[in-house]
Amino acid sequence: LSAAELAAVRADFPLLGRTVRGGRPLVYLDSAATSQKPQVVLDTEVDFYEQRNAAVHRGAHQLAEEATIAFEDARASLAAFVGADPGEIVWTPGATSAINLVAYAMSNATLGRGGVEARRFALGAGDEIVVTEAEHHANLVPWQELCARTGATLRWIPVGDDGRLDLSDLDSIVTERTRVLAFGHVSNVTGAVAPVARLVAAARRVGALTVLDACQSVPHLPVDLHALGVDFAAFSGHKMLGPTGVGALYGRRELLEAMPPVTTGGSMVEVVTMEATTYAPPPQRFEAGTQMVAQAVGLGVAADYLGELGMGAVAAHEVLLAEELLRIGEIPGVRVIGPSNVGVGPGGLPDRLAVVSFVVDGVHAHDVGQVLDDRGIAVRVGHHCAQPLHRRFGIAATARASASVYTTTDEVGAFREALAGVRAFFSVN
């Protein structure tokens, strides 16, 4: 992004104009937790409630028709943005619920429709689910629970000292027993980009389903789900400039066709008698009850906003920010967890993004966060919902700085300068 484009982007985000801690300009470096929202997304939600609010898919009146069109147009926008067909996008409240939807469907096979693909959702003792040691709890705990419900066994791909997945034993971890391989596209701790093609190939070889946690990739990289070849993907609206309360599950069409429903009730049915019910085709089969229509419409506009900026340009801007953020490694006593420089990864895209977790020798992460906050700099501290990955590195907590399309190199500079003063502040030598 040129300086003028970046200034124009920033002007679109009202919250970035506010001050914190007694008049300091806000330096928001917590976009991996949640991104800020452009005015057009906020306006779209308000406009929906002011002009179009109605229940979708059912009403016989004009408002219902307009609301339905807005809702389905949003689905089409989001689908186009991630390289999917609209019928392959299921609205969910977020990534966590999207992953849980697949995991629960896999212990709900009695509601399935039969057929070869449907059998892929029936799991039992002797079956294995493979995750990685780098996962966010949202892509770990649902699989642990699925194992507990079905008798399947959880295995995982370890993380190497460099913070990247260690694939040296991949062939003995992903085997004929593997039914699901679930992994994050980009780590929300180290920023490392996973070798998707290699993992998808390993899963395909043994007929396992792939589930991609795309929470940290969709807002920052061009993502084409059909090209990546994954079976399922989950992501959240609120991390990609959209509203909270909405996200999506992508599923390959044949798989969604075969997948048993999880939440049952209104809107997801075809024929209901007192004895039995037939279910609607996907995506409606997975959208029981009244949906988060205003948020979905807002998310469609967020996808359009990013699409208009161009994800190539967004990714290039974020590479610059990642490089600037990684310069904190030059500060005495500061240690970055994970890859310490940006290289070229699959498809010519960067192999790590602008989310950088670090420790400061002799200073607790929470104290680091507080000193930065006093200067108006917002970072996240803790385990970032990835306790196993922190345990892998023998640390309980890190501080994490993460950028988005609206972040400037000046902001990263202010962060580095403040961080350089942290050890002196606590009189650590």
Site mask for ligand PMP (CB under 6 A), range 181-220, x = bound: ---x---x------------------------x-xx----
Per CB under 6 A, contacts with ligand PMP among 29-68 are none
Give the whole-angstrom CA distance, residue 88 versus residue 79.
8
Sheet holding 355-360, edge to edge: 334-337, 355-360, 398-402, 380-382
Per CB under 6 A, contacts with ligand PMP among 238-297 are 238, 247
Nearer to ligand PMP by Cβ, of 52 and 185: the residue is 185
CB of 2 to ligand PMP, least distance (A): 29
Burial of residue 411, with CB atoms counted within 10 A of its CB: 0-12 exposed, 13-18 middle, 19 or more buried? buried
**Using CB under 6 A, which of 38, 94, 282, 338 touches ligand PMP?**
94
Give the whole-angstrom CA distance, residue 266 versus residue 263.
10
Q: Is the Cβ–Cβ distance between 357 and 398 less than 8 Å?
A: yes
Please give the size of the binding site for ligand PMP, defined by CB under 6 A. 15
Least Cα distance to 343 among 198, 161, 193, 186 occurs for 193
Using the rule CB under 6 A, is 96 a contact of ligand PMP?
A: yes
Nearer to ligand PMP by Cβ, of 107 and 190: the residue is 190
Q: Is the Cβ–Cβ distance between 159 and 388 less than 8 Å?
A: no
In a 3-state reduction of DSSP, which class is residue 275?
Answer: coil
Name residue 271's amino acid. V
The region of 68-76, 134-142, 281-289, 399-407 touching ligand PMP under the rule CB under 6 A is 134-142
Give the whole-angstrom CA distance, residue 311 versus residue 404.
12
Nearer to ligand PMP by Cβ, of 95 and 337: the residue is 95
Nearer to ligand PMP by Cβ, of 188 and 284: the residue is 188
Structure tokens belonging to residue 61: 């009146």
Tally of CA atoms within 13 A in the half-sphere of 143 that contains its CB: 28
Nearer to ligand PMP by Cβ, of 107 and 188: the residue is 188
In a 3-state reduction of DSSP, which class is residue 192?
Answer: strand
Using the rule CB under 6 A, is 408 a contact of ligand PMP?
A: no
**Using CB under 6 A, which of 100, 132, 190, 236 touches ligand PMP?**
236
**Using CB under 6 A, which of 37, 52, 120, 136 touches ligand PMP?**
136
Structure tokens belonging to residue 316: 């290039």
Concatenate the DSSP letters of all residues of 316-342 into one string. Answer: HHHHHHHHHHHGGGGSTTEEEES--S-
Nearer to ligand PMP by Cβ, of 96 and 210: the residue is 96
Backbone torsions φ then ψ of 27, nearest 5 degrees: -115, 100
The region of 131-139, 169-177, 264-272, 332-340 touching ligand PMP under the rule CB under 6 A is 131-139
Using the rule CB under 6 A, is 100 a contact of ligand PMP?
A: no
Q: Is the Cβ–Cβ distance between 124 and 135 less than 8 Å?
A: no
Nearer to ligand PMP by Cβ, of 128 and 213: the residue is 213
Using the rule CB under 6 A, is 385 a contact of ligand PMP?
A: yes
CB of 264 to ligand PMP, least distance (A): 22
CB of 144 to ligand PMP, least distance (A): 15
The region of 89-97, 108-116, 190-198, 296-304 touching ligand PMP under the rule CB under 6 A is 89-97
Q: Is the Cβ–Cβ distance between 229 and 209 less than 8 Å?
A: no
Sequence-ordered list of residues with C-beta below 8 angstroms from that of 220, at least 6 positions apart, any chain: 186, 314, 315, 318, 353, 354, 404, 405
Using the rule CB under 6 A, is 419 a contact of ligand PMP?
A: no
User: In 127-230, which ranges are E strands?
Assistant: 128-132, 153-157, 178-184, 209-213
CB of 187 to ligand PMP, least distance (A): 7
Nearer to ligand PMP by Cβ, of 247 and 300: the residue is 247
CB of 247 to ligand PMP, least distance (A): 6
Using the rule CB under 6 A, is 398 a contact of ligand PMP?
A: no
Eight-state DSSP code of residue 165: B
Looking at the annotation, which residues are catalytic?
Answer: 385
The region of 65-73, 136-144, 204-212, 391-399 touching ligand PMP under the rule CB under 6 A is 136-144
Burial of residue 406, with CB atoms counted within 10 A of its CB: 0-12 exposed, 13-18 middle, 19 or more buried? buried
CB of 92 to ligand PMP, least distance (A): 8
List residues binding ligand PMP (CB under 6 A). 94-96, 136, 138-139, 184, 188, 213, 215-216, 236, 238, 247, 385
